[in-house]
Amino acid sequence: MHKKTLLELSQTLRKREISSVELTRYFLSRIERYDSQLNSFITITPELALQQAQLADDSYKAGTADLLTGIPLAHKDIFCTLGVKTSCGSKMLDNFIAPYNATVVEKCQAAGMVMLGKTNMDEFAMGSSNETSYYGAVKNPWDTAAVPGGSSGGSAAAVAAGIAPIATGTDTGGSIRQPAALCGLTGLKPTYGTVSRYGMIAFASSLDQGGPIAKTAEDAALLLNVMTGFDQRDSTSLDRPTEDYTAHLQRDIKGLKIGLPKEYFGEGLDHEVAKVLEAAIKELEQAGASLHEIHLPNTHLAVPVYYIIAPAECSSNLSRYDGVRFGYRCENPKDLIDMYKRSRGEAFGAEVKRRIMIGTYALSAGYYDAYYLKAQQLRRLISNDFQQAFQQVDVILGPTSPSVAFNLGEKANDPVTMYLSDIYTIATNLAGIPALSIPAGFVNQRPVGLQLLGNYFSEARLLNIAHQYQQRTDWHQQKPQGFA
């Protein structure tokens, strides 16, 4: 069952070859068997899952089931879930039981999907390797000595190992696409505002976006159909007609214009990863696409701009965690100031503290104009680069990550090197455009991700291209050994 796509699972349920309760028990048993090797889950919810599965079975009997009814999934532990711990991978929220559901969780429940549990993540989504979690590092199923990527590494590891059929993630600077690439999966960051951020604990509000982590482009499209839609509770949610992202998957890609940015294929890209991408590009060319060299001249600014804007927004968003209303509180504080200082000092990890300090500095009097305001101006230049490129080409292609998964601990003590692992993913968050990563091959038995970038609201086109590529290749069907 764990090798089936969502559509195959849906057909199996619809034909009554298996019940949702049986399917849910199957995946819960796989979690129990394999997750000790991966540490991909923070919280497992078997009782809730079986209750939801029984409701799904009742829907099938009543003839009211939707396409994804009864299919299990895992939620990144950044989405609030009513009555279930929502920790954001932090000691600060280790005791927080969410009093409501995030919109994404609501929508998945309304579609009849079954929540297996909450997946591990970098603390408050700050990290590129899933090593900053209070609950310990997640391991990559392809090689448990390697990182799975971050911050949605738990979701990616769970899907790659087949202990969850699909999972949700969030992407602030590549946190869906990079773990999808390092774990051999399909991961999509939608256009900013397409998926509601209500109940999704904020890291950097102008950059955060939820999306699916899946085995295939078709699976990602099916979950995206459920996740998207206007939400009046989210001031950044876009009020636009809903789409069926599966509608155009079968279209051929003859005549498609693919832009290859000179800046994405130069210094910094691993030579062996570049070879894998060259083969993937030839495959798309044989399918009828044409290739065009383009320039994104402000690409080199993306990392420094991101690491001013994201920490600035994080320092503002995380100011609410003060030991007063909810979350961790230090023991026996002397006074209010002592409680603030010790609660935050004891509950936040090193990476979160680092980014809060950077962000507070950038927003402080005398430095706001020099850093934060200037970063926002440069952000516009980066966005303009993409708009000029999309006047010449339909999509942009490049690497998702400069290398395959690195070893656990390899970059843990070098934050700057760690930050550079997101060099190809950050710019799309700054611009708010959609981007997708798909598996394209292997280097030293570790997966390589190919990234497709599109103009605003071009998710359907990106998924179509990815699906057509996956019809011609079998990289997405490869499974890590040891999780049969």
Give the sheet arrangement for strand 41-44, strand by strand.
41-44, 114-119, 72-76, 167-171, 209-214, 186-189, 435-443, 446-453, 395-399, 257-261, 290-294
Given the structure tokens 């038995």, which residue do they identify?
Answer: 445
Tokens of 359: 């962000």
Query: By C-alpha distance, which of 92, 79, 11, 20 is closest to 54?
Result: 20
- If one counts the domains in the chain, the total is 1
Q: Are strands 114-119 and 72-76 parallel, antiparallel or unpaired?
A: parallel
Q: What is the DSSP letter of 147?
A: -
Residue 92 is predicted with a pLDDT of 98
Query: By C-alpha distance, which of 156, 69, 440 is closest to 279?
Result: 440
Q: Which residues pair with 114 in a beta bridge?
A: 72
Q: What are the catalytic residues?
A: 76, 151, 175
Tokens of 183: 């774990």
Total count of residues recorded for the chain: 484
- Spatial contact of 245 and 229, defined as CB atoms under 8 Å apart: no
Given the structure tokens 């952000």, which residue do they identify?
Answer: 379
Q: Are strands 290-294 and 257-261 parallel, antiparallel or unpaired?
A: parallel
Residues 125-157, buried b or exposed e (16+ Cβ, 10 A)? bbbbbbbbbbbebbbbbbbbebbbbbbbbbbbb
Tokens of 79: 């989405």
Residue type present at position 428 = T
Tokens of 362: 């950038």
Rounded distance between C-alpha atoms, residue 137 and residue 148, angstroms: 9
- Those residues whose C-beta lies under 8 Å from the C-beta of residue 402, and which sit 6 or more positions away, are 268, 269, 270, 273, 420, 421, 423, 424
Q: Which residues pair with 397 in a beta bridge?
A: 452
Residue 484 is predicted with a pLDDT of 80
Cis upstream peptide for 206 (omega within 30°):
no
Query: By C-alpha distance, which of 121, 130, 111, 119 is closest to 163?
Result: 119
CA atoms lying within 13 Å on the CB side of residue 155: 41
Q: Which residues pair with 74 in a beta bridge?
A: 117, 167
Sign of CA dihedral 425, 427, 430, 431: negative
Rounded distance between C-alpha atoms, residue 438 and residue 183, angstroms: 10
Q: Which residues pair with 189 in a beta bridge?
A: 435
Residue 427 is predicted with a pLDDT of 98
Sign of CA dihedral 195, 197, 199, 202: positive
Q: How far is CA 426 from CA 14, 136, 301, 436, in A?
A: 41, 25, 10, 13
CA atoms lying within 13 Å on the CB side of residue 47: 2
pLDDT tens for the chain, residues 1 to 484: 999 999 999 999 999 999 999 999 999 999 999 999 999 999 999 999 999 999 999 999 999 999 999 999 999 999 999 999 999 999 999 999 999 999 999 999 999 999 999 999 999 999 999 999 999 999 999 999 999 999 999 999 999 999 999 999 999 999 999 999 999 999 999 999 999 999 999 999 999 999 999 999 999 999 999 999 999 999 999 999 999 999 999 999 999 999 999 999 988 999 999 999 999 999 999 999 999 999 999 999 999 999 999 999 999 999 999 999 999 999 999 999 999 999 999 999 999 999 999 999 999 988 999 999 999 999 999 999 999 999 999 999 999 999 999 999 999 888 888 888 899 999 999 999 999 999 999 999 999 999 999 999 999 999 999 999 999 999 999 999 999 8
pTM of the predicted structure, to 2 decimals: 0.97
- Spatial contact of 234 and 103, defined as CB atoms under 8 Å apart: yes
Rounded distance between C-alpha atoms, residue 368 and residue 359, angstroms: 10
Given the structure tokens 């738990």, which residue do they identify?
Answer: 154
Task: Output the domain CATH number for residue 462.
Answer: 3.90.1300.10
Q: How far is CA 305 from the centre of its chain?
A: 21
- Those residues whose C-beta lies under 8 Å from the C-beta of residue 357, and which sit 6 or more positions away, are 315
Q: Provide the residue range defining the domain that includes 276.
A: 1-484
Residue 273 is predicted with a pLDDT of 97
Rounded distance between C-alpha atoms, residue 448 and residue 273, angstroms: 7
Residue type present at position 285 = E
